[in-house]
Amino acid sequence: MNQPFLPPDDLPPARTTLVDEILHRQLETVAGIRFYQTCGPIMRVLLSNCHWYFQTSSGILTLVIVCYDIESYWHITNAVSHILKRLKLFSNSAKIRLCPPTELGTPWEIEVNEMSDDEIPDDED
């Protein structure tokens, strides 16, 4: 393995500190608040019928949506393109992890960059 040519002060820390974890959680919380503010009234109602939150892993922002019933899952799946449009405002590498009701399948993911700009609708609720 090659050693980096940077001085030790310029390298990332070897371990994550408590402060890093707190800042990480605050970032996820603020991303959720800002995302919700960008949504229109219909999207807000759809999200209020599910449990949703942001998480980051390896620098990728992920919107996790957990649907508890088939009706809310169906509505959210029909609105995925609108959600992706909003998510793209935050990161070009963001993704959605959609979790259907437990008895109806397994979670699936779609990344913002998997949809072309032509596939993302202009109008949202």
Burial of 77 (0-12, 13-18, 19+ CB in 10 A): middle
Residues above pLDDT 90, as percent of the chain: 58
Q: Which residues pair with 63 in a beta bridge?
A: 54, 96
111 contacts 95 by C-beta, under 8 angstroms: yes
Across the chain, mean pLDDT equals 87
- pLDDT one-digit tens code per residue, 45-101: 999 999 999 998 888 899 999 999 999 999 999 999 999 999 998 888 999 999 999
The answer, yes or no, to whether residue 124 has pLDDT greater than 60, is no
3-class DSSP state for residue 14?
Answer: coil
15 token code pair: 């371990």
42 token code pair: 């219909």
The answer, yes or no, to whether residue 116 has pLDDT greater than 70, is no
104-123: average pLDDT: 77
Q: Which of 8-12, 20-24, 99-103 has the lowest mean pLDDT?
A: 8-12
Q: How far apart are the first and last CA of the chain?
A: 52
Q: Which helix (H) or strand (E) holds 37?
A: helix 18-38
